[in-house]
Structure 1
Amino acid sequence: MLNRPRRYLFFVELDYSFEILRPLQQAARARGCEVAWFLNGPAPEYLSEDESLLKTVSEVRTFAPDAVFVPGNEVPLSFPGLKVQVFHGLGIEKKGHFRIRGMFDLFCTFGPSTTGPFKQLAVKHGWFKVEETGWPKMDPLFAADAEARTDGVKTVLYAPTFSPALTSAPALADEIARIARERDWHWIVKFHPKMEERFAAPIRAIAAPNFEVVEEARMLPLLRLADVMLTDTSSAAAEFMLAGKPVVTYRNRAPGPHLINIVRVEELEGALDMAMRGEDPARHARGRYAEEMHPWNDGRSSERVLDAVENMLINGRAGLGRKPLNLLRRFKYWRVLPR
C-alpha cells in the first residue's frame, strides 16, 4: 500500500508545454499529489516560485515519480514511473502523430479521431494502453469562468506553422501588410517557437498601428481574443475550432469542409471578410469536426488523465507485453542529460 502522495514528473522540451501541463498540475495538486518538473531545453525562469525543478537524473530517481507526463514525442526511459503521452498538439494530419516510438505505457487521447487509430495500434503492438481523456490544455478554455471578449474589435490571429515546406509566411507577408494598412481589423501574430527567422522576418517587418507580434508562449488567451484564425497546416487550427470559431488556411495539407482553405494569395481578404461576417460555408462542418476531435468540453480533461494514470498504477501492466529495448533512444538522453 502506498504510504505517500502520488508523485508526478512533467518532462518538458519546448516552451509551449507549460500551457499543456499546468492544468494537469492544478488538478494533481488538488488531489494532494506532488509535482516536479524536468526541463530539457526551456530556461528555469519559465517556472514560478511554487513549482519544483529537478535538474539531474539522480534527483529524478530520488523523487521517484509514479508517472512521467510528456507533451512531446520522446522521454528518457531511465526515469522511473509510467510514461504517459499527453501530446503537444491536435494536428493529427501532421506526419508522425500516430508514430509509435516504443517509449510510452499510456496514451491519453483527445476524442474519436485519435482514440480509434491509437487503439488499433495498441492491439497491433500489445505493450501500451490507450484512454480517451481529452486534452488538459483545453480545460481553461472550457472553464465556467473563462473570460470573453467585450470590446467588439474584429481580430485576426495569424499562427503560421514553422515547417519550411508548409509555412505560409513568405507567400502571405505582402498581402497581410496591405490588408493591415487598409482594413480596421486588429492583427495578432503568434509564431511557432521553431519558426526560422528567415520566414518570420517579413511578417515582423509589417508596420501598422493595428498589427502586433506577440512573444507570449500561451495560445489560449489569444484564442479568446481573436474572431478568426489565419494559418496554413498548423495544429493550432484545431484548437481554434474547438472554441467554435472559423479558420482560414492557406494551402492546407489536408483541407476539409471544416476549413476555409484558399490556394491563391488574392483570395485572402475575401475569405477573412466572409469569416468575420459568420457567413462561411465551413461553420456546420466545423462543429462536427470539433465533436470528433475533442468532444470533452467540460473542462475536466486533466481529471480524466489522472484517473487513467491511477487506474494503470493500481492494475499495473496486466495483459501488456514488454516495451522494446530502444537502446538508441536510451543513449540519446544518456548523452545529454545531467547525471
Structure 2
Amino acid sequence: MSPLLSIVLPVHGVEPFLPRCLDSLGVGDARADAAGADTEVEVIAVDDRSPDGCGAILDDHAARDPRLRVLHLAENQGLGGARTAGLAEARGRYVWFVDSDDWLPDGALSAVLAELRREQDTDQPVDVLLTDFTHVYPDGSTEPNPWRHVLTGSPLAEGCTAREHPGLMQTVMAVWNKIFRRAFLQDLDVSFGRGYYEDISVTYPALVAAHRLRYLDRPCYTYRRGRPGAITNTASPKHSDAFAQYDAIFAFLDRRGIGATGQDALRNLVFDRTVKQALTIYDTPGLVPAALRGDFFDRIGRHFDRHRPPGYRYPAGVRGIQYRLVATGSRLTYSELRRTKRIPRSLRRRARAMAPTVRKGVRSGARYAAYNTFRRLPLDENLAVYAAYWHRGYACNPAAIYEKARELAPQVRGVWVVETRAQAATLPAGVPYVVVNTPAYLRVMATAKYFVNNVNFPHTMAKRPGTVHVQTQHGTPLKSMGMDLREYPLAADGMDFDRLQEAVDRWDFLVSPNPHTSEHFSRAFPGRYELLETGYPRNDRLAGATAADVAAVRRKLGLAEGQRVVLYAPTHREAQGGYVPLLDVGELASRLGPGCTLLVRAHYFHRGSVGEPELGGAAARVVDVSAYPAVEDLCLAADALVTDYSSLMFDYAVLDRPMVVFAPDWAEYRRVRGVYFDLLAEPPGVVATETAEVAQALRSGDPAPGARAAFRERFCPWDDGRASERVVRRIFPVTVAPAAEQGEPAESREAARDGRRRAALAGG
C-alpha cells in the first residue's frame, strides 16, 4: 500500500541539527506524534555526500525504523539535485520537502496528515497545501510567519487558485512550507535548479498552475534563520544562480501560455517579485562579492529586459525609480539613491535620457538641500501645517480642525499647503498658505511643530524629534485600505507598502470616526500612534446644521426654492480607470422630472469628466459639482443621496436623510477591492441595480427609514458636533474655553463623552 505522504530530506553538513530534525519526523524512535502513521508516512533521506557524520546518523535511524530510507549519492548534487533524487524514489500521494537543519513542531505531522486524509474524500484534492511556520534565530528568539495576514481569512481556507487570491504571490516562495500532490508536481514538467535559490523554479510554477491551493493556519514548520553556512549569510558568486531559476520560471509561463503575448496580472506579479528578490540579494550586505556586484546588477537589467511582461507598468514611488535605473543599467546612480535616499547629482548629466519621474527627482536636489538647511533651525512650537487631498486645497477634517484650533488655541498659527497659486485663490479669506516646493514651503515643513493631513505628507519631509503628526484620513472604510491591499494587487496598483509603513511610523495620532473604523484601521495601518476615537471633525458641520444653514447653502449653489435636490456621488473603481458612470444620469434625470435638480459629483480622481447633458424641460436639471470645494455643502443641500461604495454615505448618514445604494457591480468591486462588510446586507437605504430602480426609490420619498436608522447607530455614534473640539483639545495647548461650555463643569462634559464612546464601542 502506498503511503499518504513522502517526506524528502536532503542532507549535507548539518550534523549538529540532523538528530532534532529526524526526531521531529518521528523516525528512529517511538514518538507519540508518529503513532498510527506507520503506513501513511515514508521519509526518504538523501545523503548528498555529506562531509561529516550525517550519513552514519541516517543509517543508524534507518536500521531502527523501516519508514526511513536512505540514499547515499556518489557525488554532491546540491539541494536541487538531492531533492530531485528523493522525489524519484517517493511513493506517497503527497510529498513534503523538509530541510534537514529545520524541524517540525510537536503535533505538526499529525495535523498535516489529518488535512491530507480529508482531502482524499474531496472531488478536487488540493494540489498544494501551505502551512504556517515560525522563524527561529541563533539566539533562540522566534518570529511568527510575517506573511500570515495575507493567508488567514482568505479563500485559501477552503481552497482557491492564485488568480483568485493573488496576494499569495507576495508570501515566502520557499518549498519547505508547501506539501505537493505528487502527481500534480510531476505533471508540471519542472525541476529544482542547480545551486542557490533552487526551489523557486518549482514553487512559482506550482502556485501559478494549481487548480486548488489551501492554507493550514497552524505553525507546522520551524525554519532556522541566520545560522552559519546558510546561503542568506554567505558571500558567494552562487547568488547569481537565481537568474537561471528566473529563466526556468518564465519558460514555464511561456509553455503554459500565461501572459506571453498580452497583459496578465499573475505574470506581472511573478515578474515584479523576481525583480524585487534580485534587488534584495544585491542590496543585502555581504552576499554578492564586491568584485561581482557590477555583473550582478547588469544581470538584473538583462532579466528585466528579457522577461518584462507586455504592458508592464513600473511600480509607484522610489521602487519605480529603482526599477527604471535597473532597466537602464544605472548602477552608480542606483547605489547613490540607496545611500542618500534622494536622486543624486550624477543623474543630472543624463536626465534627458531618463524617465520623466527620474528627471523630476533630479530637479528636487536643490530643494532637498534647502530643506535640510532649514531643518537646522529650532522648531516653531506655535506653527501648524495643514493639507488635504494631496495639497488640493482647504477641505475635509484638516479644515475643521484648523477652524476649531483658531478658536481654542489661537496662539498656534496654522499654514495651509497648496499645489499651485491658483488653488491658493480658492482658500477662505485670511487663511495663510505656502505653495509646494517654494522656499516658504520648505521652511514651514522643516520647522513646524504640528502637521495635520488627511493623506500622507511627502516621504522626503522627514519627521523631526518633537514634532506631532496627526493623520485624519478622509472616510469611513467600506473598501480595503492600507496594508490590507496586499491581498488585492489590482487595487493596490503598485503601492509601495514599505513606504506606506514608513509614513505610518511618523503618525502620532490617527483620527477615527466610529468603532468600525477603529477596528479596521488598527490592522490596516499598524503603528505606535494614539487612536483618537472622537468622530470625524468634518461632520461637526452636518451634525449641527440648521434649516437656515441649509437654505444658505442652496442659495449659494443657485438652487431654486421648492426644488427637490438629489446628490449622485459615485466612487473610483480601480478596474475601470477613469470616470465610467454605471448609472445613466440622463435617464435618471428624465425619470425624476423637472421638479428635481440632480447634482453629480465625480470622485476627486476624475474631476472634469462629468459634464451637464441638455435634456429639455421634461427632465431634472443636471449640475456637475465635481469641482465644488466643499462636499459638506453638497450634503446639506441634498434631500437624498445616491451613491455606490463611496465613504460619503457614512457622512451623509449624520443628516438622517434618504439614501439609495446603486450597486450593479458589487460582486466585481468586492473581488477587486475587498470590503470590510457586506453593504448589500447592511445598507443605509434601498439597494438598486438598475437606473429605473433608483428613480423609483427616490420617488417613494423615504423608502427605508429602518435600514438608515440601523446604519446610523453603527457608523455615527460619535457624531455629536464636538469631534473637532475633542481632537484640538488632545493635540494642541488649548488656551480658550468655547462659549458653549461656560457654566458646565469640565469633568461632567468629559465623563459624558467618555461614557458615550465606551457605550458605542461596546455596542450599547
TM range (shorter): 0.7 to 0.9
The alignment status of 1:299 with 2:724, answered yes or no, reads no
Q: Paired residue for 1:43?
A: 423
Q: What TM-score do the two structures reach when normalised by structure 2? A: 0.36
Which amino acid is the alignment partner of residue 94 of structure 1? K
Q: How far does residue 290 in structure 1 lie from its aligned partner after superposition?
A: 2.1
Distance 1:116 1:4 in 2: 35
Distance 2:471 2:405 in 1: 16
Secondary structure, in 3 states, of the residue corresponding to 2:657? coil
Among 581, 584, 598, the alignment partner of 1:172 is 584
The alignment status of 1:18 with 2:395, answered yes or no, reads yes
- Structure 1 residues 114 and 223 mapped into 2: Cα distance closer, same or farther (>3 Å)? same
Q: How far does residue 165 in structure 1 lie from its aligned partner after superposition?
A: 4.1
Give the % identical residues: 21
Structure of greater relative contact order (alpha carbons < 8 Å, 6+ residues apart): 1
Which amino acid is the alignment partner of residue 726 of structure 2? R
The alignment status of 1:156 with 2:566, answered yes or no, reads yes
Which amino acid is the alignment partner of residue 719 of structure 2? N
Asked if the contact 2:470/2:508 (under 8 Å) is kept, the reply is yes
Q: Paired residue for 2:596?
A: 185
Among 478, 481, 485, the alignment partner of 1:93 is 478
CA RMSD of aligned residues (A): 3.1
Q: Paired residue for 2:534?
A: 133
Distance 2:616 2:638 in 1: 18
142-151 or 126-135: bigger deviation: 142-151
Matches within 5 A, 1:1-339: 6-12=382-388, 13=390, 15=392, 18-30=395-407, 31-32=409-410, 33-40=412-419, 43-55=423-435, 56=438, 57-61=441-445, 64-76=447-459, 77-78=461-462, 80=464, 81-90=467-476, 92-96=477-481, 101-102=500-501, 103=503, 104-119=507-522, 125-143=526-544, 147-149=549-551, 151-163=561-573, 165=575, 169-180=581-592, 182=593, 184-195=595-606, 200-201=610-611, 204-208=612-616, 210-214=621-625, 215-251=627-663, 253=669, 254-255=679-680, 256-274=682-700, 277-278=701-702, 280-281=703-704, 283-310=705-732
- Structure 1 residues 193 and 14 mapped into 2: Cα distance closer, same or farther (>3 Å)? farther
Which amino acid is the alignment partner of residue 186 of structure 1? T
300-309 or 188-197: bigger deviation: 188-197
Q: How far does residue 107 in structure 1 lie from its aligned partner after superposition?
A: 0.7
Flag the structure with larger Rg.
2
Distance 2:712 2:482 in 1: 18
Which amino acid is the alignment partner of residue 601 of structure 2? K
Which amino acid is the alignment partner of residue 162 of structure 1? H
- Structure 1 residues 308 and 120 mapped into 2: Cα distance closer, same or farther (>3 Å)? farther
Aligned residues: 298
Q: What TM-score do the two structures reach when normalised by structure 1? A: 0.76
- Structure 1 residues 97 and 185 mapped into 2: Cα distance closer, same or farther (>3 Å)? farther
Distance 1:11 1:119 in 2: 23
Q: How far does residue 116 in structure 1 lie from its aligned partner after superposition?
A: 2.6
- Structure 1 residues 60 and 229 mapped into 2: Cα distance closer, same or farther (>3 Å)? same
Secondary structure, in 3 states, of the residue corresponding to 2:416? strand
Secondary structure, in 3 states, of the residue corresponding to 1:299? coil
Q: How far does residue 6 in structure 1 lie from its aligned partner after superposition?
A: 3.4
- Gap runs ≥5 in structure 1: 312-339
Distance 1:109 1:265 in 2: 34
- Structure 1 residues 50 and 153 mapped into 2: Cα distance closer, same or farther (>3 Å)? same
Greater helix content = 2
- Gap runs ≥5 in structure 2: 1-378, 485-496, 555-560, 670-678, 734-764
Distance 1:208 1:164 in 2: 34
Distance 2:604 2:698 in 1: 25
Secondary structure, in 3 states, of the residue corresponding to 1:234? coil
Distance 1:121 1:264 in 2: 33
